[in-house]
Structure 1
Amino acid sequence: MTSINGTNPYAQYGSAYARAAATQPSLADTLNAAEAGNSNPLDPNAATNLTLSDAAKAKLASDAKTPDFTAVTNNARAVLDKLYAAAKVTSPLGADGKTTIDLSSLDRRSLFAIATNSGGKFTPDEQSVASGELTNRFNAALAPAAAATSMTRNYTVVYKAALEYLDGASSEEKATAAWSAQRAAVQKGYDAAKQKPDTAPSVSGDPVASYLAKYPDGAPVGTTKTFGTVATDARAALDAQAKLAAENKTELVYDPSRKFGQLVDFSSFDNRSLSAITLNQDQKFSNQEIYAAKKELDSRNRANILSSLKQSQQSGDPTQLSLGILQSYSAMSDEERQASGWSPSFRDNVLQSYKSTSNILSIMNGA
C-alpha cells in the first residue's frame, strides 16, 4: 500500500539520464562482445574478459524482457480505453461513486503508472481508482497473515507479509519517498515484533498498524464473482481447451499417463475455480474433470505446506510450519476449504500445534 500523489519527483532527471545513457555502450553490447571473444566496445585494443554466473545471466535475461515504464504507461492507457469500451462507459466512476470497470487484469506496475499519472495520461478519477486497487492488493496480501496473527498473537507474521509485499514493488515505486517511508516503518515494526512477538508494535507511519486497526482479524476474502459464475467460467475454459484439442486432431485428456491426447492445463485456473470443478455443485463437470481438478488442488496445497516446512527448517523455527498452514487456511474461500477438506477442526488442531510448540520453545529458552 503506497501513499500516492499525482506528481513524480524523479521526472526532472529523465532527460539527463537519457543523455548520459546514450554515450555509454549497452550491457548487451558488452556481453555480445565478450561472448564473441571480442574486447570492450569502447576500446577495440583492450583485452577485457567478462564472466557471469548463471544467476546473473538469468537476471539479465529477465530484465531484457521487462518493458520500460513508458511502454507500461502507454499499455495501461490502452487497457483502460478498452475496458471503457467493453463496459460502455467513459469514466471509472459512475454517478453513484461506484467503480464502473474492473482493474484486476492490470499488474501492479501498470496500476502504479495510472495512480501517479505517468506521462500525464490519466484523469484524477482514474488515479483514484488505481490507488484504491493498489490498496486492495495490499490488504489482500496482508489478510491471511493478519488472520494468523489474530489466532496466534504473533505479530511477526503480518509484518513479514507486509515486507514481502513492499519488496515486490517495481523500481519506479521503490524510488518514491512514500515507499521508502513505509518500508522503513514496517521494518521497525518487524524488528520490534521479533523482540516481543505477542505485542503490537507502535511505530509512526506504520501501514500495518493502520491495517490492523481496520481489520484486526484480516480483511474478508474478496470474491467478486458468485460461485456459480466461477463454475460457469471454469466450464467455458475447459470447453475452450477441448475445442483447441479437436482442431489439432486430438482430444483433451485428464490423465498424464495417457499416451496420446492433449493434457488439460490448469495453470490459468485459480484455486476457487478448481474448487468449483471439484465440488461440482451445478453438475457441470465429468468425473474425469472432477478427479483431475481435485488432484491439482491437492498438489497446490501440498506445495504450500512443503514451502512452510522448508521455511521452518531453514529458519530453525518449528512454529513456521503451523504459521504457514494457518495463513494458507485463512487465504482460502469457504468453497476452497470445503473442496480441500480443510475444516475448522483441522485449523484448530494446527493452532494447538503452534501453541504447544511455542510453549516448548519458551521453556527451552528459559522464558
Structure 2
Amino acid sequence: MKHLLNCLLALTVLYSPLTQAEVVRLKDIGKFAGWRDNPLVGYGLVTGLANTGDSPNNKATRQSIANVLSQFDVAVQPDDVLSRNAAAVMVSATLPPTAHEGDTLDVTVTSIGDARSLAGGSLLLAPLKGPNGKVYALAQGALSVGGYKYELNGSIAQKNHPTVGAIPGGATVEVGVQAKLLAADNSLLFTLSDADFTTAARVAAAINAEFGHTLAEPRDAEGIRIQLPSNTRLVDLLARVEKLRVEPDHRARVVVDERTGTVVSGGDVRIAKVVISHGDLKISIVTDNSVSQPILVRQTGPGVRTETVANSSVTVSERDETGLVSASTNTVADLIQALTRLKTHTRDIISILRAVKAAGALHAELLIQ
C-alpha cells in the first residue's frame, strides 16, 4: 500500500499542471541604458624572461626596446638589441561604468610575438587607451602565468597557455568616468535582456504602481522609458526601480546543440498529440588486411612478390523491437523522459524533436546550434 501511494505521488508530480513563472527583480532581467563597461587596450613590453621571449626575427620587439632605452638617454640601434629576455605584448583591461582616479583594474597580458612563455616576466609601464584614443589607465607589475612550456630535443611539455598572463590590480585609473544615464529630457531608459512586449508592459505597470502615478511607459519590446520626477534624487529612483519584482514572460524554446548532443528545454514546453515510431538500424563494415607470402616458390623475379589481401565483412543488425512513443498533451520533458526509458541516444532524440517540430506538434521555437 505504501509503495502504491509513492507511485501515485510520483505520477502527480510528473503530470502536475504548469507552475507559475518565478517572480524576479528588475535588476536581474535588464539594466539602464548607458550603464556598461568600457574596454581598454594598450601595447607594452614584458621583461625579465629566462630566454623565452621573442626571437631576433621579431623587429617590433627590438625596436620597442630601443625606444624605451632612448627615454633614459641610452642610444642603441635596434639591430644591436637582443630580445630573448623580452616580449612584445598587448595589454587589456575593463573600465567599469563608474571609476575614480586611483582605482585599480585587473589586467590581462597576451603575447603578440613568438615568445615561448611569459612566466617570470614583469610588464613595464604601459598606457591603456579607450576607443577614442585617450589614456584612462596605466598598467605595470609582475605577471601571474598559470601555465608552463618546456621543450628539449623535440619533446614538449605544456600546461594551459604560458603566453597569456594576468596582473591582479595591475592598472591604476588616471581619468575617472561616470556613466550617463539621464537623457536630455530628464528621463531614463530601462532595457530588458530578453525583449518581450508582455514583460515590458508588466515592468511599466510595476514601476507606476510603486510610485503611485504614471512615470514609466513601454517604448518597445525591449525598452521602458522612465521619467525622473523633479523632487526625486536619481540614486533613490534607481534603487526603488531595481528592487521591484515582476513575473517575466518567456517564449517557449528548445535549444539543441548538435556538437555535444545537448538538449535544453523548459519543463512546461508543450507538444500536441503525436505518435512517434523510431527504429534502429546498425551497419558495421570491418576490413581485415592479410599478407599472402609465396612459400614453396624459391625463384625471384618481377612476377614473384608478396601480395596484400583485403577481406571485408558486412554485418547488419537491427533492434528487435521498434520504439513506439505516444504523447498526448504532454511536455517536452515528458517526451524526453519516455525516450530515455527506451534507451534512445541523445542524437536520436534531437532527430525526433526535429520531426515533431516539422509535424507542427511542438509548440515552441527550436534552436539548432
Q: TM-score range by the shorter chain?
A: under 0.3
Higher Cα Rg, which structure: 2
After TM superposition, the score normalised by the length of structure 2 is 0.20
Larger relative contact order (CA 8 Å, sep ≥ 6): 2
TM-score normalised over the length of structure 1: 0.20
Higher strand share: 2
